Amino acid sequence: MKFDVLTLFPEMFEPLKQSIIKRATEKQIIDINLINIRDFSEDKHNKVDDTPYGGGAGMLMKPDVVDRAYNSVKSKNAKVIYLTPQGKRLNQEKVKELSKEEHLILLCGHYEGIDQRVIDKIVDEEISIGDYVLTGGEIPAMVLIDSVSRYVEGVLSNESTDEESFANGLLEYPQYTRPEIFNNEKVPEVLISGHHENIKNWRREKALENTFRKRPELLENIALTDKEKSYIEKLKKEVQ
Ligand code: 4GY
């Protein structure tokens, strides 16, 4: 999968040169190409921004410069995403959907934003990572690349995306490793028993409990068995 990132600050993307994403890049499963929008200024001072018509604070990125940067990477099958608080909120379902694309072009705004005409011309989809304002789209672009890459075949070694938070619409069950006793607390007995059916049932119950206690609104959107529903009812009575 190819990611082209249009940004004024390519140096901000160092975090993607570590760990799992670094390995996926080396294995050529993903390709992250950073394009410095400033390289496409034709001005003698390499100007990339200008004041807003109508007045107001700050500077806007110039449409002609952004458009030339886009033209240097565009392809027929690319999807162009603008990272902005005005976009649709990123969630795990959207992440999975994007992992099926072959070419994503991520447009990062900075300062007060980008001239609307080039947004209208080149952007297919606006995505937000949450309801707060950052200084630029670079961190959101990294969030998108990291989360989407995990779903690209071969990036994670095993089936680690199958059982994690949100894979089944629930939060994850708690996990434990050695030592068997830490801080006077023993690892739950069932996990040491080797009884796979019991372990599976315990984990499902803990995932339900975790979700009920921390993110109860997530339970609205998933199908539960009658047994699971009555377990939730039992937890509700406990908190009353
Ligand atoms: N939140 N989700 C976000 C953001 C910064 C000025 C446009 C967000 O996605 N992007 O806060 N972006 C602004 C900065 C230009 C993007």
CB distance 131 to ligand 1 below 6 Å: no
CB distance 66 to ligand 1 below 6 Å: no
User: What does the alpha-carbon distance between residue 235 and residue 209 come to, in Å, rounded to a whole number?
Assistant: 8
Going from N- to C-terminal start, the domains of the chain cover 2-156, 181-239
Tell if the pTM clears 0.85, that is, is over it: yes
User: What does the alpha-carbon distance between residue 240 and residue 230 come to, in Å, rounded to a whole number?
Assistant: 16
The CATH code that applies to domain 2-156 is 3.40.1280.10
- Note down pLDDT in tens along the chain; length 240 residues: 999 999 999 999 999 999 999 999 999 999 999 999 999 999 999 999 999 999 999 999 999 999 999 999 999 999 999 999 999 999 999 999 999 999 999 999 999 999 999 999 999 999 999 999 999 999 999 999 999 999 999 999 867 787 687 878 999 999 999 999 999 999 999 999 999 999 999 999 999 999 999 999 999 989 999 999 999 999 999 998
Q: Given ligand 1 and candidates 81, 83, 119, 143, which is best to mutate, with the most ligand atoms within 8 Å of its CB?
A: 83
For residue 84, how far is its CA from the centre of ligand 1 (angstroms)?
4
* Residues near 211 by beta carbon (within 8 Å), at least 6 away in sequence: 170, 171, 218, 219
User: What does the alpha-carbon distance between residue 150 and residue 166 come to, in Å, rounded to a whole number?
Assistant: 14
- Ligand 1 atom with the smallest distance to the CA of 112 is 6
| Interhelix angle 196-214/226-239, nearest 10 degrees | 50
User: What does the alpha-carbon distance between residue 10 and residue 39 come to, in Å, rounded to a whole number?
Assistant: 11
CB distance 85 to ligand 1 below 6 Å: yes
Domains 2-156 and 181-239 share a fold: no
User: What does the alpha-carbon distance between residue 196 and residue 160 come to, in Å, rounded to a whole number?
Assistant: 18
- Fold held by 181-239: Trp Operon Repressor; Chain A (1.10.1270)
